[in-house]
Amino acid sequence: MENEPLIDEALKRELTALYGAGDRHYHDLSHVEAMLALAGECRRLLHDPDAVEAAIWFHDAIYDSRAKDNEAKSAALAEQKLSGRVSSERLSRIVAMIDATATHQLPQLDDEKATSDAALFLDMDLAILGAEPGAFDAYEKAVRREYGWVEEPMWRAGRAAVLKSFLARPHIFHTAEFQRRFEAQARKNVQRSLAALEAG
C-alpha cells in the first residue's frame, strides 16, 4: 500500500481535467507544476515528499471563486481518492496541509517533521508572491480574471485586505529557505500591488 505512488497516472489524469476548467486563469495546472518544481528543488528538506506532492496535486482541485469552502472540498476529495492507498495518519497530514491553504497559517500537527513539511508546502503555494515583477504582475491579472464577476471597488477592497494581511505578518514565508529566496521580493511586489489598488 505505502510503496505505490500516491498520485498514479489515472489520478493525475482525473486531477488534470479539474485543473483544466475554463474559469481558471491562475489556479490551473501550471500552478501545480510550479509547486511540484519547487518541491523537487526542496526535496532534501522534505520528510515525506510523496505526501507533499499529493497535497500539491489536490490543494486547488476544487476551485470556484464564488465559493468559500474550496479548500475543505479539495481536502475532502483527497480523503476520498487516497483512502485505502495510504495510512490514515499520513492521509490526515495531507488533509491538514490542504485545509491550511485557506488561511496559510501552520496547521496544528503533533509531529515536528510533518509541521516542517506543511510549512514548506504553504511556502511553495505562495512563492509566486516573490517572483520577479513581470511574473507577479501576470499572476495578479490572472487572479483578477478568476474574480471577473466582482465589481472593481469590491475587488480593490477585498484584494487589498488579503495583501495587507500578508504584509502584517513578521514573515510572509514560514521557512528560512523561502524567506531567504523570496521574502524581500515578495514584500516589494505586494507593497507595489497594494499601492496600485489604493490609488485606484
Distance (Å, whole) CA 70 – CA 30: 18
- The chain-wide mean pLDDT, for the chain, equals 96
The β-bridge partners of 83 are 86
What integer is the mean pLDDT of 35-57? 97
For 58-85, the pLDDT digits (tens) are 999 999 999 999 999 999 999 999 999 9
pLDDT at residue 5 in the model: 81
Is residue 185 within 8 A of residue 173, CB to CB? The reply is no
Nearest C-alpha neighbor of 80 from the set 19, 11, 20? 11
Share of the chain above pLDDT 70, in %: 98
**Torsion sign, CA atoms 28, 34, 40, 46:** negative
pTM over 0.85: yes
> Mean pLDDT across the stretch 106-127?
95
Q: Output the CA angle 42-70-39, nearest 5 degrees.
A: 5
The domain locations on the chain are 9-125, 129-199
Give CA–CA dist 83/94, Å, rounded: 11
User: Per-residue pLDDT tens for 134-187?
Assistant: 999 999 999 999 999 999 999 999 999 999 999 999 999 999 999 999 999 999
- Output the nine-digit C-alpha cell for 63: 476551485
Using one digit for the tens of pLDDT, what is the confidence trace for 139-153? 999 999 999 999 999
Please classify residue 93 by burial: count the beta carbons closer than 10 Å to its beta carbon, then call 0-12 exposed, 13-18 middle and 19+ buried: buried
- 8, three cell numbers: 498514479
Distance separating alpha carbons of residues 143 and 63, to the nearest angstrom: 12
pLDDT band with cut points at 50, 70 and 90 for residue 3:
low
**Other Cβ atoms closer than 10 A to 106:** 15
Q: How far apart are CA 134 and CA 167, in angstroms?
A: 20
